Structure formats: C-alpha cells, structure tokens
C-alpha cells in the first residue's frame, strides 16, 4: 500500500513537472545534466599501456577546460576491451545501451573497432577513434557520427618505402601480426616501397598477440635482405626489438617500421632499439613550443613521458572540446556538432592537422630515428598526407 501510494504521488509530481516542460530530456541536458563520456580501451594485455596513455591524454585536454565540456560537468564510464575482437560488440553495447553515453571514445585494436563501428552506426552515438587505424572505419563503413583522431593503418607506412630505398635498401622482408592493422600497414608499405623501386622478398607473419619470434628471425637471417620493415606495437614491439638484437640481426640488417614499433617501449627495449628508423605522425623531439609544453605538462601530471598514444588521446579531447563548445554543451545538436568537428583545426603537439572528408586526419608524417631512448626527427617523410577515404559515402 505504502509503495503504491508513493508511486502514485511520485507520478503525479512527474506529470506536473512534465507539463511545465522541466522533464524534456533535451532541456534537461542543455540546462546542465552531466555529459556521459564512455571510454572503451584496452587496460589489460599487450596494448594495456596504450589504453592508459590515451586516457591520460584525453583527460588532460578536458582538465585544461576545468574538467567540463561546453560548460557541462562530465560523468565517466569505462570498459576494458582487452583488445579482444570477439567481445567488441558486447563491450560497445555496455557503454551505448546500458550506460547511454553521449560519446564513446575507443579504441586501440582494429578488430575491436569493427565491433564499435557496428554498434555506433546503428545507434548514431558519437564515436571518436583515438587509435585503431582500420581502413573501413573511414572508408566503406564511414559515418557522420564517427571521427578518427589518429591515422589510417596505411598512412604511416605510405611514407616508409621511399625512405628505405633512399638509404639504398632495395630488398626487404616485411614482418607483422596477421590482422587488419598489420595487413593494412603492409598495403601502405608495399605501395611506397615498390613505387620507389624496392622489392619485397618475403612477407612473414604470426597471429596477434603472439610473441614467439624466434623461427621467423632465423628465417630472416637466412634470407639476408638489405633491410626489414614491420608493424608491431605495445608490449609485443618491445619484445620484437629485443629479440631482433638477441638473434644477432641488429647492426647487420637495418630494422625499419611503422613508428608504433618504437612508441612507449624505449625504456623496455633499452639499447636494442638504438638506430631503428620509423615513420610516424609524431615525434618526441618535435621542437615546437606546443610540443614542449605538452610534454612538460604531461610528465608533471602523470610522472611518465608521453608517446604518440598520449598525443592521440589529447587530440581526441581537443576535438571534442571544439565540438562541444560550438553547441554550448548540447551534444544532441548533431548537425551543428558534426559541422564544427569537420571544420576543426587541431593545434596538436604533432603539428596542426585537419579532418578529411571521410573524418580521418590530414597530417604530416615524420621520419624518426631512435637515439638515447628518444624518437628523434630526422626529416619529414610526407606533408599533409590524407587517407584515400575510398568508398566512403556519408549520410
């Protein structure tokens, strides 16, 4: 009886409130309900430290706004996606269906991203990709509500082949984890290397996230190419660099890679990483006031050095701030929100970049070399490089 009376009197109050308009969700939002921000990132497994760096960078950008988005407080939701593609849809739905987030920030692994893409294309939830480079997300499966702040998988390696041939390395072996990120990085490498006159003598691979490199390194030793190029990242990259040196290949067959190979792993890899040349849309040593200030602030706040993942997380925050400010925090004003994000110029530690029509960064790619635990810039491998966006139809 008591419960029923309570329910009745509460619903009477609700009807009263609704008739004065107080309960209309859009008004409640615009007037200051919290923005629901969902993070779907790997916090365990070989990409765990990538997830942490992305979250750190993202929070730093929002903290610079007093921890608010378009004037509204933030409520945070987090899911560890474990870089497990089989759980991608289920994990994305935890944030979209259960937590009803206004924006989903994630993720690192290309296979998991495909799960997110399925969910957000159905729900229309704003989706910001702070790493995963899977081509489909900004090509055939692009969508007005999906924006990538990182790279497409073939973008960094599209600048690598030319640089290797210019150093006189005309015969190369390619090695990677066999999944979308490795396969699509190969696409960029193959195109640039063969266009510059290089020959790929062998493609080697192993399943993600295996790190039993020994047999493959023995094969490389017997193939005796001029150079090796690769895609690895996170914990697996640190082990690959150490194993490459331990197998006696360092100093004999120069090692090149998509720049993820040497991001966030230079302490773990130690001197085995010295001399590795890579291409990437960021470099620790970019000597600009913007990068110097970012690195100092990040190191002070988190007591560790930032890497490309921290920069991508930070830029994701900068993009969301620009969008949220343009609509005064009302993220349900979608056309205006998307328009502001499409036109945004991101003043990033990597250098200024803009969004392509398919919502992927148009950005410079640097040539870097590891020296004393730092990725030092040794040149610009490509200016304002855009992904093709092939097959993307918005709308």
Residue 249 C-beta: closest distance to ligand PHB, Å? 22
Residue 285 C-beta: closest distance to ligand PHB, Å? 19
- Is 235 or 323 the residue whose CB approaches ligand PHB more closely? 235
C-beta of residue 249 within 8 angstroms of C-beta of residue 125: no
The DSSP call for residue 72 is B
Residue 115 C-beta: closest distance to ligand PHB, Å? 12
CB count in 10 Å sphere of residue 356: 20
Residue 147 C-beta: closest distance to ligand PHB, Å? 16
Give me the residues that bind ligand PHB (CB under 6 A), please: 108-110, 131-134, 153, 181, 233, 260
Q: Which helix (H) or strand (E) holds 38?
A: strand 35-41
- Is 108 or 326 the residue whose CB approaches ligand PHB more closely? 108
Residue 150 C-beta: closest distance to ligand PHB, Å? 8
- Tell me how many degrees the CA angle 174-175-181 measures, rounded to the nearest 5: 105
C-beta of residue 2 within 8 angstroms of C-beta of residue 10: no
Task: List Cβ neighbours of 119 (8 Å cut-off, separation of 6 or more).
Answer: 89, 92, 93, 96, 125
CB count in 10 Å sphere of residue 23: 13
Residue 113 C-beta: closest distance to ligand PHB, Å? 7
- Is 69 or 273 the residue whose CB approaches ligand PHB more closely? 273
- Is 72 or 109 the residue whose CB approaches ligand PHB more closely? 109
The token pair at 362 is 């148009």
Q: Hunting for tokens 């007591």 — which residue is that?
A: 303
Sheet holding 74-80, edge to edge: 74-80, 35-41, 103-105, 126-129, 146-148
- Is 230 or 337 the residue whose CB approaches ligand PHB more closely? 230
- Is 180 or 333 the residue whose CB approaches ligand PHB more closely? 180
Which residue is nearest to ligand PHB, using beta carbons? Answer: 233
């Amino acid at each position: 009886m008591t419960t029923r009376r309570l329910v009745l009197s509460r619903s009477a109050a609700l009807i009263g409130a609704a008739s004065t308009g107080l309960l209309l969700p859009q008004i409640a939002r615009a007037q200051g309900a919290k923005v629901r921000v969902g993070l779907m990132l790997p916090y365990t497994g070989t990409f765990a430290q990538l997830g942490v760096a992305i979250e750190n960078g993202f929070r730093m950008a929002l903290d610079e706004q007093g921890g608010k988005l378009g004037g509204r407080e933030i409520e945070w939701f987090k899911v560890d996606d474990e870089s497990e593609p089989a759980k991608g849809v289920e994990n994305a739905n935890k944030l979209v269906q259960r937590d009803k987030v206004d924006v989903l920030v994630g993720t690192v692994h290309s296979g998991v991203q495909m799960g997110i893409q399925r969910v957000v294309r159905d729900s229309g939830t704003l989706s910001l990709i702070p790493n995963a480079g899977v081509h489909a997300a900004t090509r055939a499966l692009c969508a007005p509500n999906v924006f990538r702040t990182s790279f497409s998988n073939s973008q960094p390696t599209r600048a690598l082949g030319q640089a290797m041939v210019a150093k006189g390395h005309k015969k190369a072996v390619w090695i990677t984890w066999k999944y979308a990120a490795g396969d699509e990085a190969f696409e960029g490498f193959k195109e640039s290397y063969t266009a510059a006159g290089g020959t790929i003598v062998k493609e080697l691979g192993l399943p993600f996230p295996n790190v039993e490199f020994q047999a493959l390194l023995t094969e490389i030793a017997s193939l005796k190419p001029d150079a090796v190029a690769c895609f690895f990242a996170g914990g697996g990259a640190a082990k690959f660099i150490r194993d490459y040196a331990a197998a006696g290949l360092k100093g004999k067959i120069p090692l090149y890679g998509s720049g993820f190979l040497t991001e966030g792993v230079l302490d773990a890899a130690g001197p085995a990483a010295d001399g590795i040349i890579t291409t990437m849309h960021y470099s620790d040593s970019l000597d600009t006031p913007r990068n110097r200030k970012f690195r100092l602030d990040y190191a002070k706040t988190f007591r560790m050095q930032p890497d490309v993942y921290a920069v991508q997380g930070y830029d994701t925050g900068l993009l969301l701030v620009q969008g949220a400010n343009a609509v005064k925090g009302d993220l349900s004003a979608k056309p205006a929100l998307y328009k502001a994000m499409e036109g945004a110029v991101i003043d990033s530690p990597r250098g200024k970049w803009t969004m392509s029509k398919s919502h992927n960064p148009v950005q410079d790619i640097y040539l870097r070399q590891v020296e004393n635990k730092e990725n030092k810039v040794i040149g610009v491998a490509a200016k304002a490089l855009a992904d093709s966006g092939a097959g993307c139809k918005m709308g």
